[in-house]
Amino acid sequence: MSDRPLLQARKHYERPHVLIVADDPELATFLNEGLPLGGFWTTVISSGLQVLEVFRLRQFDLIIMDYGLRSFNAEELMLRLRGNSSRVQEQAARTSAPVVVISERPIEIAPDMQRKMGIERMLHAPIELDELVPELHRVFEEWRANNPDMPMSDDPTRN
């Protein structure tokens, strides 16, 4: 039996909406084309500044962050999204969505910093879609179990 979720007709807002933060075109295309096949909606943003701005307007259910962002330090971006940056005074958290980090090389981030950044998983490239999709569903389901009252990001009843 496969770990792949059962794909069935669902309302659009019942599919987790994943924000892909990557300025590597190959990674962004791979995720943007592959994740919908695994039951996700996707949006790609390549600029850290645009990510900060988009969270003023809307939310996402899950974030995939390329650790090798060239346009903005990925660690600082994650801290700012959580309202934990030491560089910005009096900031509010912009999201509580779980973060999955993808890195080309192994990285070490202390567990307390991972919590401050909202990192749920750290994955190393290359990544196969058959491994990534079930892992993302596990991360999302764990987050939903801990946040049962949080509506899906595209739910029309969300404020």
Does residue 5 or residue 57 have the better pLDDT? 57
Cβ atoms 136, 62 nearer than 8 A = yes
The CA R_g of the chain, rounded to the nearest whole Å, is 15
pLDDT tens, residue by residue, 62-71:
999 999 888 7
pLDDT band at 9 (very low <50, low <70, confident <90, very high): very low
> Is pLDDT at 159 greater than 90 in this prediction?
no
Among the CATH numbers 3.40.50.2300, 3.30.300.130, 3.40.50.720, 1.10.357.10, which is that of 14-145?
3.40.50.2300
51-77 burial code (b ≥16 CB/10 A, e <16): bbebbeeebbbbbbbbbbbeebebbbb
- pLDDT score at 5: 59
pTM of the model: 0.86
Extents of the domains making up the chain: 14-145
Report CA 71 to chain centroid distance, whole Å: 17
pLDDT tens, residue by residue, 97-129:
999 999 988 888 888 888 888 889 999 888 999
